[in-house]
Amino acid sequence: MKSFKALTIAGSDSGGGAGIQADLKTFQELDVFGMSAITAVTAQNTLGVHGVYPLTTEAVEEQIEAIGTDMGLDALKTGMLFNAEIIEAVAKKIKKFQWDKVVTDPVMIAKGGASLLQEEAVEALKEHLLPVTLILTPNIPEAEVLAGMEIKTFEDRKEAASRLHELGAKYVLIKGGHGDEEGVTDLLYDGKEYSSFKKSRIATKNTHGTGCTFSAALAAELAKGNAVKEAVEVAELFIHSAIEEDLMIGNGHGPTNHWAYKRKQRQGEHNE
């Protein structure tokens, strides 16, 4: 029996809803062995981020090196990388080990508004990480920062996706959760064609870690050998289920339900 392996390079969320905790839960639910390289430890809960304690660049490099020289991987995802030095170091390791299934979730701001990426790190992300990225998964505010433009219309999203593709990402998926349309439409661009993934909008404040969870599901499916579009389809179902089956944990932006997708599978609710 072949074991599929995925690595998350991201921050730790003490509340368990986002970061490496969300990623590892997602990998497990999708039958992929999860590994982690921690970039920073955060003290946070559903009410917000109360502290960020970055690891040294050397510590991040050593974690990645340990995995690359022994266990290997089938796909990886990045989350909160915190600063320019860590971003550059991660990109170098990706090149060294010739890892090509890289999902980049450009984590910039927490749900409570706390900045999770230093300002100078944005340029480093564009210069070093996007050229080694298979699929980039920004939300609309993140896409605005990276593409250097305001996004108001769906045509703006297409333009932003095109700009981000030109920066090196082979695929760009702009998530539509921050859009003002009735439902939620995610836009995927492969350099030639645009594809839309539409789902209903769920009225809930419990969406902490949605970006982490979505990108982790993508990485898990890529690790199993699925093509990008098929991986996106599974990730869309996974995150929609996770938001829909509310856990009602905490007093702020609560976490999503990572076991909802598999439970629905068992009960035959995914009839696509």
Active site residues: 175, 207, 209-212
Closest CA to 107 of 26, 13, 203: 13
CA distances from 234 to 31, 87, 217, 228, 230 (A): 13, 28, 7, 10, 7
Q: Contact, 140 vs 148, CB < 8 A? A: no
DSSP secondary-structure letter at 50? E
- H-only helix segments in 98-168: 119-124, 140-147, 154-166
Task: Determine how β-strand 184-189 pairs with β-strand 171-174.
Answer: antiparallel
